[in-house]
Structure 1
Amino acid sequence: MPVSSPQIINMGCRLNLAEGESIRALLAGRDTIVINSCAVTNEAVKQTRQAIRRARREKPDAELVVTGCAAQIDPASFAAMPEVNRVIGNAEKLKSEAWEAYDAVLVQDIMAVRETAPHLAASFSTHARAFVEVQNGCDHRCTFCAIPYGRGNSRSVPAGAVIDRVAALAANHGEVVLTGVDLTSYGPDLPGSPSLGQLVERILHHVPQLRRLRLSSLDGVEIDDRLFALLTQEPRLQPHVHLSLQAGDDMVLKRMKRRHGRAESVALVERLRAARPEIAIGADLIAGFPTEDEAMFANTRALIDDCDIVHAHIFPYSPRAGTPAARMPQVEPAIVKARAARLREAAAARRSRWLQSLIGSAQQVLVERPGDRGHAGNFAEVRVPPSETGEIVTVTIKAVQEGKLIA
């Protein structure tokens, strides 16, 4: 008789992916579907509901549990769905006792949570890259963002626990990615107030067998001299910096309650690229934020070229209930959609030029399943000759096809 195994459907961010592996370990042998939800936009919540209905159709007899940010913020609405058996909160989902309980809704006050990551996933058997949560929650209150209400306040994982986990993963994974909700806020809640740069230094020193280290999204205003030096000088830290920019207009940034201005973003990228020219810049950008006029939008669109953004994540603004931005004068939905499309068009053009510039270059590629593809250090996707998954191969780029490099 075949052994049952859980099905984990992760929506949204890399942090969910990391936590999903922990849930998989907790549920070994159970015929359970877990929808690990996202609440970053209304569209993400809609997609979560669609995933719930689709999963129930495909496995009508399985236990179906919803967790993640959308479930944390609005548990009652998911508990009311006929397809759902249980709703479990973001803190509870990483505790074995929550999965042994019978409560239909098990969601505590996330703002009361003071610790994170006692779970730290043991393996990522289906991935060449492993994800390690080092921080959770956020102390900032950007006016558009509901995520603090799903994740709680910022809290960090002690460096020793992170290093032990990275060391365990490095033996079977070519790359480890450090993740968090607000990664650059790592440390102030720990003894001695270590910084993210200090954590990275300790990982690289204590885990010499680690071949590649990558960081998820960074807040540029919190990149201090130590972290900057690592990003630009440490060969094992990959040349790929993803920045939480959100907009390229100073008035919009002020209304978003961001802590940086446009000029600071441009200057940071110029410094990064001057110190390490091969660094690829990624960024999150929001189109159609409340009060945004055409001139403000033009500033954000121009930021794609001014910051040489080649990995752009474009989001049409989505009013999240309870956030200050939802009460501001809204941009017409059709205009928001059109501006998002224009941003994607500009980002695609910039990315295309960058990919073309890589033809003839040598790239180190981490081979991912099924063995004929992977990502270079700059996070460009590369098609490679058949290789063993998890191997790091050096290839010469010959062409670009459908947005991918061909070796």
Structure 2
Amino acid sequence: MTETLVPPKAGQATKRLFIKTYGCQMNVYDSERMADVLRPLGYASTDTPEDADFVILNTCHIREKAAEKVYSELGKLRQMKEAREGGMTIAVAGCVAQAEGEEIMKRQPAVDLVVGPQAYHQLPELLTRTARARGERIGADFAPDDKFDALPKARGVDGVTAFLTVQEGCDKFCTFCVVPYTRGAEWSRPVAAVLEEARQLADKGVREVTLLGQNVNAYDGEGPDGQPASLAKLAEALADIPGIDRIRYTTSHPNDFTDELIAAHRDLPQLMPYLHLPVQSGSDRILRLMNRKHGRQKYFDLIDRIRDARPDMALSGDFIVGFPGETDRDFEDTMDLVRRVNYASAFSFMYSPRPGTPAATMGAQVPDVIARERLHALQALLTEQQIAFNRSQAGRVLPVLFERKGRHGAQAIGRSPFLQSVHVDDADHLIGQIVPVEIERGQQNSLAGRLQTKVSNAA
């Protein structure tokens, strides 16, 4: 018999919920949905853990330091729990929970429950059981469609942009990555379910959606005709929803990038000209060791085809340095690839061995001091490219979606089509609107601009 918590009656005190999110945008989406699951039970979000009745750490297992940060945070929460009158319920969710659930319960007795990324829809039931007996672990061996079917249809939305998960899991099995073990096999939500959620977001004022997936361009959810639909077809359907003016997606895999998706970037103005397309290394030898199943030339050819279709496309990527066996020549191949592609932004990391992955037991592990030197050199090049790209926007007029107030007076902050943060004075009356902005200067992490003319509050 399934137990549920009884929703609060009118006049009852609101319970306070604090969620700390680590890692990727999919975790951000999951955290928002956990808040949605708990809202009918009387949980309202709070900005600090000190006054929370329920604290959730939504974790990432991609890098070793990320997992250790979780244990450090749990130590602080234990002290808060012991000092707080009435106590505190502590949960660990996400990928660290899935991979290290038993270890978490042993290592930190303050934790009341552990829930994997495919089971957070069960939080209400888990809270009921945890109220009587500590020590619950729910893993990810549930079908993802069960999770999405169980989530509340209504989403709490705060702002004009929103994440929307359309695909989960990974079948690629890169030798450095734990995602296939923590998120499971690739699975795509039906088109109808995605469109329904997008319409609800649009009705609440969302104008830009970012479609999420571990391999989002592998999307093959059931379409209206009962056949698998591609990401390109999904984007076309989303573009028809009134109010959805911008569409982004992340993260893509080079092997799943189709001609149809390239054509969608050419033909759909709602698809923003900014693409996150990780390559990880510029060395063919290292790419083989990583089991990436593509080489540098295939990546170059793909970039050329994308830029032929959309000449203004800005590119972002992911890079790992210090992978086992990486030589100076391999690293120089990565630097050469970066110079040739010329990124608008990118993420770069030192290789971090994750237990259970093939790379963790490979020979020729690169010493940290060498890996760190390579990382600094790569990041210096990527920063140089990012600054150059941002500065190149000076003098252009870009459509900016204003998202929130800035720090100074009537300043507002928005996003360019290329995902850059744009600061504009005397624009706080334009939150939620897409407005032409003349860019005055570009800096490392943002642009500064001015309104071309006085713009009214009209949408």
TM-score (ref. length: structure 1)? 0.93
Q: How does 1:40-189 map to 2 (within 5 A)?
A: 40-57=62-79, 60=84, 61-80=87-106, 81-95=108-122, 96-102=124-130, 104-108=135-139, 110=141, 113=143, 115=145, 117-118=148-149, 119=151, 122-171=154-203, 172-187=205-220
Query: Would the aligned equivalents of 2:344 and 2:389 in 1 still touch at CA under 8 Å?
Result: yes
Q: Note the alpha carbon deviations across 1:19-75, whole angstroms, 9 max, x for none.
A: 111100112223311110000110111222233334455664321111000110010
Q: Note the alpha carbon deviations across 1:206-250, whole angstroms, 9 max, x for none.
A: x13211111111112211121111123311111111002111111
1:286 aligns with 2:320: yes
Q: Note the alpha carbon deviations across 1:172-198, whole angstroms, 9 max, x for none.
A: 112111001121221178852222212
Aligned match of 1:391: 433
1:370 and 1:107, CA in 2 relative to 1: closer, same or farther beyond 3 A?
Answer: same
Q: How does 1:4-403 map to 2 (within 5 A)?
A: 4-28=15-39, 29-30=42-43, 31-57=53-79, 60=84, 61-80=87-106, 81-95=108-122, 96-102=124-130, 104-108=135-139, 110=141, 113=143, 115=145, 117-118=148-149, 119=151, 122-171=154-203, 172-187=205-220, 191-205=226-240, 207-329=241-363, 330-371=365-406, 372-385=412-425, 386-387=427-428, 388-403=430-445
- Cα RMSD between the aligned structures? 2.1
Q: Note the alpha carbon deviations across 1:365-405, whole angstroms, 9 max, x for none.
A: 22223342122111111112232433322211101245311
Query: Would the aligned equivalents of 1:363 and 1:377 in 2 still touch at CA under 8 Å?
Result: yes
Q: Note the alpha carbon deviations across 1:330-360, whole angstroms, 9 max, x for none.
A: 1111111221121111100011111111101
Query: Would the aligned equivalents of 2:117 and 2:140 in 1 still touch at CA under 8 Å?
Result: no
3-state secondary structure, aligned to 2:398: strand
Query: Would the aligned equivalents of 2:206 and 2:243 in 1 still touch at CA under 8 Å?
Result: no
Q: Note the alpha carbon deviations across 1:104-151, whole angstroms, 9 max, x for none.
A: 2222353x6353533277335334311111111111211000111110
CA distance in 2, matches of 1:357, 1:285: 24
Select between 271-280 and 375-384 the one with higher mean Cα deviation. 271-280
CA distance in 2, matches of 1:374, 1:121: 28
Give 1:152 deviation, angstroms.
Answer: 0.8
Which amino acid in the other structure matches residue 106 of structure 1?
A: R
Give 1:100 deviation, angstroms.
Answer: 3.4
3-state secondary structure, aligned to 2:405: coil
Q: Note the alpha carbon deviations across 1:74-125, whole angstroms, 9 max, x for none.
A: 1022223133222112222123433433262222353x63535332773353
3-state secondary structure, aligned to 1:235: coil
Query: How much identity, in percent, do the aligned residues show?
Result: 31
3-state secondary structure, aligned to 1:338: helix
CA distance in 1, matches of 2:347, 2:432: 26
Give 1:272 deviation, angstroms.
Answer: 1.7
CA distance in 2, matches of 1:49, 1:275: 47
1:366 and 1:56, CA in 2 relative to 1: closer, same or farther beyond 3 A?
Answer: farther
How many pairs does the alignment contain?
405
Give 1:406 deviation, angstroms.
Answer: 0.5
1:58 and 1:114, CA in 2 relative to 1: closer, same or farther beyond 3 A?
Answer: closer
Larger Rg: 2
Query: Would the aligned equivalents of 1:34 and 1:67 in 2 still touch at CA under 8 Å?
Result: yes
CA distance in 1, matches of 2:73, 2:153: 24
Select between 119-128 and 322-331 the one with higher mean Cα deviation. 119-128
Structure 1 residue runs of 5 or longer lacking an equivalent are none
Higher relative contact order (CA 8 A, sep 6+): 1
Which amino acid in the other structure matches residue 128 of structure 2?
A: E
1:128 and 1:50, CA in 2 relative to 1: closer, same or farther beyond 3 A?
Answer: farther
Query: Would the aligned equivalents of 1:39 and 1:45 in 2 still touch at CA under 8 Å?
Result: yes
CA distance in 2, matches of 1:138, 1:34: 25
1:53 and 1:220, CA in 2 relative to 1: closer, same or farther beyond 3 A?
Answer: same
CA distance in 2, matches of 1:284, 1:124: 31
Which amino acid in the other structure matches residue 338 of structure 2?
A: I
CA distance in 2, matches of 1:296, 1:50: 35
Structure 2 residue runs of 5 or longer lacking an equivalent are 1-11, 44-52, 407-411, 450-459
3-state secondary structure, aligned to 1:5: strand
Give 1:156 deviation, angstroms.
Answer: 1.0
Which amino acid in the other structure matches residue 214 of structure 2?
A: V
CA distance in 2, matches of 1:20, 1:121: 15
Query: Would the aligned equivalents of 2:276 and 2:316 in 1 still touch at CA under 8 Å?
Result: yes
Query: Would the aligned equivalents of 1:311 and 1:351 in 2 still touch at CA under 8 Å?
Result: yes
Select between 185-194 and 270-279 the one with higher mean Cα deviation. 185-194
Query: Would the aligned equivalents of 1:370 and 1:389 in 2 still touch at CA under 8 Å?
Result: yes
Q: Note the alpha carbon deviations across 1:282-338, whole angstroms, 9 max, x for none.
A: 111111111000010111122222112122011110001111111112111111122
Which amino acid in the other structure matches residue 414 of structure 2?
A: G
TM-score (ref. length: structure 2)? 0.83
CA distance in 2, matches of 1:57, 1:231: 51
